[in-house]
Amino acid sequence: MRLKNQIKFDEEDEMPKMNHQSYQSLTPKKGLAEIHTAVLLFGLAGLFGKWVVLSPLIIVLGRVFFASITLALILVLSRQSLKIPPGKNSATLVFLGFILSVHWVAFFQSIQVSTVAVGLLSFSSYPVFTTFLEPFLFKERIIKLNIVFSLFCLLGVFLIIPRFELDDSTFVGVLWGLLASLTFAVLTVLNRKLTLQFPSMLLAFYQDLFATLFLLPFFFVLRPSLDAKNILLLCILGVFCTAGSHTLFIKGMKRVSAQTASFIHFLEPVYGIMFAFLFLHEIPSLRTILGGVIILTGQIFIILRILKERRMDA
């Protein structure tokens, strides 16, 4: 799954100022390679829910712990300030750290009770929630066509579920995936305003840090048995699939247009399902594949409409 909650496609602090013609031509190979590598790592992250035989609470704790350390080192070595002005911004970051922890716990819980495909695809319906949250929080007008596309996405989610009963693992997995989707939408919308004031990597560091603090008490409550294998896997998850992928995505966004990056980002569940097939031998059912196609198609139309509206408003 994507390294960071704040992967947005309108990050003004990460994109150079340019006119429309130069914006369209901004697709060098290095930037595309960085974006693709980041999305590959996002998709790979879901497999750790199967590889690490621990509670999702501990998996996420390990993920944000190693990610926050790595991001802190990157910020220090690149001589970027770690300071955030006190006050309202600090309170928002604490809240987002909590939401981030809930988001990733729900995501890994979805994968553990069902499959990587179900977890990734149900989570991928987050534009449905964003469609309604953004107008509500930013007092923007609702794009009516996006409501239609949102219902289209929901159709795909419902198609994945064979039986709407709590003893069905797919149904339970989708419910957890929808919680991950909702919390990711909250993170994305709230981070939209913060990224106008602070670099995304700095926000990622603080949200990982606060998520670590929120989840740390569960380590002493659950007292997990950590062997060298699990610690290594959690380190890889935090360093490469979280901090590393976020860093690559930000670097790629400086060379690639936001629209191009958003389309590459749609490959995350595709890459994740491919990795699950190769390494876990998970073969999604036909209805899961069909539901996934519907969800991703609805996603594309929603993002295209949002990008079009923001270009018109600019």
Select, from the ranges 151-160, 262-271, 299-308, the one with the highest average predicted confidence (pLDDT). 151-160
> What does the block give as tokens for 311?
């270009």
Is the predicted pLDDT of residue 159 greater than 70, yes or no? yes
> Which residues, at least 6 apart from 216, have a Cβ–Cβ distance to it below 8 Å?
61
Neighbours of 286 (CB within 10 A): 7
Contact assessment for residue 35 and residue 208, using Cβ atoms and an 8 Å cutoff: no
Each domain of the chain, given as residue ranges in start order, spans: 43-313
Higher pLDDT, 16 or 125: 125
For residues 95 and 224, what is the distance between their CA atoms, to the nearest angstrom? 26
Range in 7-21, 57-71, 290-304 with the lowest mean pLDDT: 7-21
Is the predicted pLDDT of residue 23 greater than 90, yes or no? no
For residues 177 and 186, what is the distance between their CA atoms, to the nearest angstrom? 14
Q: In the prediction, which pLDDT does 188 show? A: 86
> What does the block give as tokens for 292?
């996934």
Nearest to 59 by CA among 102, 95, 104, 2: 104
Is the predicted pLDDT of residue 219 greater than 80, yes or no? yes
Higher pLDDT, 95 or 133: 95
Contact assessment for residue 247 and residue 67, using Cβ atoms and an 8 Å cutoff: no
- The pTM of the full predicted model, rounded to 2 decimals, is 0.85
